[in-house]
Amino acid sequence: MNRLFKTVVLGIFLFWGTAFQWAGAQTLEEATNTYNQGVALASTDLPGAIAALQQAADIARKLGDEGTEILNLSQQQMPALQYNYATSLYKEKKMDEAITNFELAYEYADNVGDEGIKAKTADLIPKLYRAKGNGEYKAEQYDAALESFAKALKYDPSYAGAYLSEGLVYNKQNNTPLMKVAMDSAIVTGKRTNDDKTVEQAVKFMSDHLMVEANNAFKKNDFNKAITLLDEATAYDENNPELYYLYALSYNKLSKWDEAILSAEKGLNAEEKTAAKQARFYFEMGNAQAGKGATDEACASFRKAAVGPLAESANYQIKTVLKCS
């Protein structure tokens, strides 16, 4: 234990007096003995020590001024004992019991102004609630998980990780509006608290999610919707080459040649600088340039696209369709 416990020795003086005075002395003696019992148990029986100190405090409280010293001593020991007991429960993987007892430790620390225990529990409790919620998420207990994440955020409204986990649950529930709110909160609070990992995860999730939705719209020939979704996705991640490739495809389908060329150029800047990786962007650029009637530019683009899987299609455009010189 990191605390110095004080054992109280009470001198009992017997006076020839009233029965009331005798009863009062006995009650103070009982409070003192119960406190000392709690101190003695602190190294071997944490629950027993806590119970004894609680009892001592209750007795002392009823004595008024006479019990002030015992009351204060009992209350001062409670935060550390309760914290240590909660820690032991956590090590035994008794998550619910551990959280309950850490919350008690926080309450006791707050009552007596123990800023050290209060700070440690305030930092730990939200993380435990998130861990609990993540377990419930994996077990597909989505409502319970949301309740746990809400409790985490009640303790720490700037906990970006809890917002991220909340967003994942809403995604499973197909609740897109609340998912977006949660993920945006994860990004905002993560940036404010320098939680770069959470920001990166939330940004990637939203970008990927919107990319999938845009791709689904593209497959249904709803190219305008695909572009709208891509606009949302690039607000999260403007360096994703996959987004610009789908942009170029969609704009070409809508015969918006200039927009397709611009999207392909952005894709080339975002993509790895290898011929194989960049070929698909040159292919879509060639299609757009051909659509505009810019044959020479299209031929140049298709030649750069004639790499790997696109080689046959690009050469067909060069030799048969455009008859490039």
**pTM of the predicted model as reported, rounded to 2 decimal places:** 0.81
User: If you ran DSSP here, which 8-state letter would residue 93 be given?
Assistant: T
- Is the per-residue pLDDT at 92 higher than 60? yes
Per residue in 169-198, pLDDT tens?
Answer: 999 999 999 999 999 999 999 999 999 999
Q: List C-alpha distances in Å: 131 to 123, 153, 280.
A: 13, 13, 43
Per residue in 117-130, pLDDT tens?
Answer: 999 999 999 999 99
Burial annotation 137-161 (CB, 10 A radius, 16+ → b, else e):
beeeebebbbebbebbbebbeebbb
What is the rounded CA–CA span in Å between residue 26 and residue 31? 9
Comparison of pLDDT for 11 and 159, the residue scoring more: 159
The SS3 of residue 122 is: helix
Q: Are 173 and 142 in contact (CB under 8 A)?
A: yes
What is the rounded CA–CA span in Å between residue 169 and residue 200? 18
How would residue 25 be classed by pLDDT, with cut points 50, 70 and 90? very low
What is the rounded CA–CA span in Å between residue 169 and residue 182? 10
pLDDT at residue 27, as a whole number: 83
Question: Among the listed ranges 12-26, 148-162, 185-199, 308-322, which one has the minimum average pLDDT value?
Answer: 12-26
Most confident of 7-16, 69-78, 296-305: 296-305
- At 119, phi and psi to the nearest 5? -65, -40
Alpha helices in 113-159 (DSSP H): 115-138, 142-155
